[in-house]
Amino acid sequence: MTQHLPVLQVVIPLVLAPLCVLVRHPRAAWALAALGSLCAFGIALDIVSTVLASGPLSYDVGDWAPPWGIEYRIDAVNAWILVIVSLVSTAVVFFARASVEREVEASRVALFYAAYLLCLSGLLGIAATGDVFNVFVFLEISSLSAYALIALGQDRRALAAAFRYLIMGSVGATFIVIGIGLMYATTGTLNMADLADRLPGVWHVRTIKVAYGFLAVGCFLKLALFPLHLWLPNAYTFAPSAVTAFMAATATKVAVYMLLRFFFTIFGAAFSFDVMNLDMVLMPLAVAAIFSMSFVAILQTNVKRLLAYSSVAQIGYMILGISFASVTGLTAAVLHLFNHALMKGALFMALGCVAYRIGSVHIDAMAGLGKRMPATMAAFVVGGLSLVGVPLTVGFVSKWYLILAALERGWWPLAVIVLITSVMALAYVWRVIEAAYFREFPGDRETREAPAALLVPTWALVVLNVYFGIDATRTVGVAERAAEILMGAAP
Binding of another protein by 154 (CB under 8 A): no
Q: Which stretch binds another protein (CB under 8 A): 16-24, 250-258, 261-269, 410-418?
A: 410-418
Q: Measuring CA to CA, how many Å separate 269 from each of 190, 264, 273, 286, 323?
A: 19, 5, 6, 18, 11
Q: What share of the chain is helix, strand, coil (3-state, %, to 5)?
A: 80, 5, 15
Name 114's Cβ contacts closer than 8 Å, sequence gap at least 6: 17, 18, 20, 21, 29
Residue from 308, 476, 482, 487 binding another protein (CB under 8 A): 476
Min dist CB 421 to another protein, Å, is 10
* Residue span binding another protein (CB under 8 A) among the ranges 280-288, 346-354, 399-407, 457-465: 399-407
For another protein, which residue of 21, 202, 470, 489 counts as binding (CB under 8 A)? 470
Stretch of residues binding another protein (CB under 8 A), selected from 35-43, 44-52, 169-177, 341-349: 169-177
- Please state, in angstroms and rounded to a whole number, the distance separating the CA atoms of residues 113 and 119: 10
CB 238 within 8 A of CB 155: yes
Residue 64 found at the interface with another protein (CB under 8 A): no
Q: How far is the CB of 451 from another protein (least distance, A)?
A: 26
- Nearest to another protein of 69, 284 (CB atom): 69
Helices marked H in 131-277: 132-151, 157-187, 192-198, 206-223, 232-238, 241-260, 269-270
Q: Contact region for another protein (CB under 8 A) — 47-55, 275-283, 319-327, 407-415?
A: 407-415
Give me the DSSP letters along 79-138.
HHHHHHHHHHHHHHHHHHHHHHHHHS-HHHHHHHHHHHHHHHHHHHHHHHB-BHHHHHHH
- Rounded to whole angstroms, the Cα distance separating 16 from 156 reads 29
Nearer to another protein, 58 or 302 (CB): 302
Shortest Å, Cβ 430 to another protein:
7
Tell me how many degrees the CA angle 272-260-466 measures, rounded to the nearest 5: 135
Tell which one of 174, 292, 360, 447 touches another protein (CB under 8 A): 174
Give yes or no for a contact between 34 and 92, defined as CB atoms under 8 angstroms apart: no
Q: Is there binding between residue 105 and another protein (CB under 8 A)?
A: no
Residue 281 corresponds to which amino acid? V
d(CA 466, CA 119): 28
**For the residues of 15-64, what is the DSSP string, one character each?**
HHHHHHHHH--HHHHHHHHHHHHHHHHHHHHHHHHHHHHH--EEEEGGGP
Minimum CB–partner distance for residue 25 and another protein (Å): 24
Which of residues 268 and 316 has its CB atom nearest to another protein in the complex?
316
Of 201, 471, 488, 489, which one interacts with another protein (CB under 8 A)?
A: 471
Q: Please give the size of the binding site for another protein, defined by CB under 8 A.
A: 55
**Min dist. Cβ of residue 293 to another protein (A):** 18
Quick note: the x/- pattern for another protein over 107-136, rule CB under 8 A, is --------------------------x--x
Distance CA 169, CA 304 (A): 21
Does 185 help bind another protein (rule: CB under 8 A)?
A: yes
The CB-of-397 to another protein minimum distance in angstroms stands at 6
Phi and psi angles of residue 374, each rounded to the nearest 5 degrees, phi first: -60, -40
Amino acid (1-letter code) at residue 189? T
Give the one residue of 339, 376, 422, 465 binding another protein; rule: CB under 8 A. 422
Q: Which of 170, 292, 360, 447 binds another protein (CB under 8 A)?
A: 170
Positions in 20-49 near another protein (CB under 8 A)? none
Piece in contact with another protein (CB under 8 A), picked from 7-15, 118-126, 155-163, 357-365: 155-163
Is residue 202 part of the contact set for another protein (CB under 8 A)?
Answer: no
Sole window of 117-125, 139-147, 319-327, 352-360 interacting with another protein (rule: CB under 8 A): 139-147
Is 359 in a helix, a strand, or coil? coil
The reply on whether position 426 binds another protein by CB under 8 A is yes
Q: Does 220 bind another protein (CB under 8 A)?
A: no
Kindly give the interhelix angle for 206-223 and 241-260, rounded to the nearest 10 degrees: 160
CA 249 to chain centre: 4
List residues near another protein by CB under 8 A. Answer: 133, 136-137, 140, 144, 147-148, 151, 156-157, 159-160, 162-163, 166-167, 170-171, 173-174, 177-178, 181, 184-185, 190, 389-392, 396-397, 400, 403-404, 407-408, 412, 415-416, 419-420, 422-423, 426, 430, 434, 438, 469-473, 476-477
